[in-house]
C-alpha cells in the first residue's frame, strides 16, 4: 500500500511544480512587457518633445523646452491602434510679442486628448500628430500685471473670486486709498479685458469733480491684457482670479501638435 501511495503523490507534486514554474514564467513575461512598455513610452515622449519644441518655435512662441508625458496604459496597444488617450505638454515661461510688450505665462499646461499618430510617425518622428481636443491652462502672475500698469503703490490680488485692486490716488491735494474690483471680459477672439468700473475711496468728497477724477483713474488702469501668442491655435475662453494669479483657460479642436519635418 505504501508503494501505491507514493506512486499517487509523486505525479501530483510534479504537476504542482509545473504550475509554479508556469506562473513564474508568466510573471516574468508580464514584467518584461511592462518594462518594454515603459521604455517605448520614454522613446515616444522624447520624439514628441522634440517635435513639439519645433512646432512652438514655428509659431513664434518662446518657452523653455517642453515636457511631454503620454498617458494611458498599456502604451503598446495605443501604438498599434495609432490612437492615444492623452498627451500632456508642459511649457514654462511662455513669452511672445504683442504690440512689443506682453505679460508672461510662468506655466502653460496643455492637455491633448484623443491623439492620432501612426506607428511610423512615433518611430521616425515624421508625420502628423493630431489631437481631437486641446485644452491649455496657464497662470498670469499679479506682479506682471502690476508691472504692466506701472502705477506707484498699486496692488492686485484675489478677493471673493474677483480681481481686486488697492491703489493710492491723489485728489485735491489729498492722498486717498482707492479700492474695487475688475470685471473680466473675454471676447470671441480670446482677447482679455480688465475693466475697473466701481472704485471707491474712503474720505472721497461727495462732489461730482471728485467722483469724475476717481473714474478717470479707474479707466486709466482698465486695460486689454497683452497675452503672448498661444501655441496650437489655443483661444482663451475663461479667466478666473485665483490667489496665485489670473488663471487663463484656452482650447482648440483638431490641432496638429507636432512639427512635420
pLDDT tens column, 4-33: 554 555 555 665 666 555 555 555 544 544
Residue that wins the pLDDT comparison between 234 and 63: 234
What is the average per-residue pLDDT within 155-164?
Answer: 95
What is the average per-residue pLDDT within 77-103?
Answer: 72
Helix and strand totals (H; E) in the chain: 5, 12
pTM: 0.74
| Under 8 Å between Cβ of 247 and 137 | yes
Looking up cell 505638454, which residue turns up? 89
Q: Can you tell me whether residue 95 is helix, strand or coil?
A: strand
Confidence at residue 132, expressed as pLDDT on a 0 to 100 scale: 93
* Strand pairing class (200-201; 174-186): antiparallel
Kind plus residue range of the DSSP H or E element containing 32: helix 2-58
d(CA 243, CA 139) in angstroms, rounded, equals 11
Residue that wins the pLDDT comparison between 167 and 255: 167
d(CA 195, CA 215) in angstroms, rounded, equals 11
Amino acid at each position: 500500500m505504501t508503494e501505491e501511495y507514493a506512486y499517487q503523490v509523486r505525479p501530483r507534486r510534479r504537476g504542482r511544480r509545473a504550475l509554479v514554474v508556469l506562473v513564474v514564467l508568466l510573471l516574468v513575461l508580464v514584467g518584461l512587457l511592462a518594462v518594454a512598455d515603459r521604455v517605448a513610452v520614454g522613446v515616444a515622449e522624447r520624439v514628441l518633445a522634440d517635435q513639439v519644441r519645433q512646432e512652438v518655435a514655428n509659431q513664434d512662441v518662446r518657452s523653455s523646452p517642453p515636457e511631454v508625458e503620454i498617458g494611458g496604459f498599456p502604451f503598446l496597444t495605443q501604438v498599434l491602434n495609432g490612437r492615444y488617450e492623452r498627451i500632456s505638454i508642459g511649457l514654462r515661461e511662455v513669452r511672445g510679442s504683442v504690440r512689443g510688450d506682453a505679460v508672461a505665462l510662468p506655466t502653460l499646461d496643455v492637455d491633448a486628448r484623443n491623439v492620432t499618430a501612426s506607428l511610423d510617425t512615433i518611430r521616425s518622428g515624421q508625420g502628423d500628430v493630431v489631437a481631437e481636443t486641446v485644452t491649455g491652462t496657464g497662470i498670469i502672475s499679479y506682479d506682471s500685471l502690476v508691472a504692466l500698469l506701472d502705477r506707484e503703490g498699486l496692488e492686485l490680488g484675489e478677493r471673493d473670486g474677483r480681481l481686486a485692486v488697492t491703489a493710492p490716488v491723489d485728489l485735491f491735494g489729498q492722498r486717498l486709498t482707492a479700492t474695487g474690483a475688475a470685471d473680466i471680459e473675454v471676447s470671441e477672439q480670446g482677447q482679455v479685458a480688465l475693466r475697473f468700473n466701481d472704485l471707491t475711496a474712503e474720505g472721497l468728497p461727495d462732489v461730482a469733480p471728485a467722483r469724475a477724477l476717481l473714474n478717470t483713474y479707474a479707466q486709466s488702469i482698465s486695460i486689454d491684457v497683452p497675452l503672448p501668442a498661444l501655441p496650437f491655435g489655443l483661444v482663451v475662453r475663461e479667466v478666473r482670479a485665483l490667489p496665485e494669479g489670473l488663471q487663463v483657460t484656452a482650447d482648440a479642436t483638431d490641432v496638429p501638435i507636432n512639427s512635420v519635418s
